[in-house]
Amino acid sequence: MASVARSLTSCIFCKIIKGDIPSFKLVETDFSYSFLDIGPLSKGHALIIPKDHAAKLHELPDEYLADAMPIAKKIAAAQGLENYNILQNNGRIAHQEVDHVHFHVIPKPSASDEEGLVVGWPAKKPAMDELKALHQELVDRLNKV
Ligand code: AMP
Ligand code: ZN
Instruction: Say what the pLDDT of residue 4 is.
Output: 87
Ligand 1: list residues with CB < 6 Å. 12, 21, 23, 37-39, 47, 89, 95-98
Among 65, 31, 15, which residue's Cα sits nearest to residue 23? 15
Give the Cα separation of 1 and 13 in Å (integer): 25
pLDDT at 2 over 80: no
Dist. CA 39 → ligand 1 center (Å): 7
Q: What is the mean pLDDT of the chain?
A: 97
**122 Cβ partners below 8 Å, 6+ apart?**
none
1-5, 47-51, 73-77: which range is least confident on average? 1-5
Give the Cα separation of 26 and 133 in Å (integer): 45
Instruction: Say what the pLDDT of residue 3 is.
Output: 79
Ligand nearest to the CA of 96: 1
- Torsion, CA 138, CA 67, CA 119, CA 116, rounded to 10: 180
* pLDDT category of residue 1 using cuts at 50, 70 and 90: low
Q: Which pTM was predicted?
A: 0.96
pLDDT at 101 over 70: yes
Residue 58 designated active-site = no
Give the Cα separation of 27 and 33 in Å (integer): 6
* CATH 3.30.428.10, applies to 3-119: yes
Dist. CA 71 → ligand 2 center (Å): 19
Ligand 1: which of 17, 37, 41, 101 to mutate, most ligand atoms within 8 Å of CB?
37
Ligand nearest to the CA of 11: 2
The domains of the chain are located at 3-119
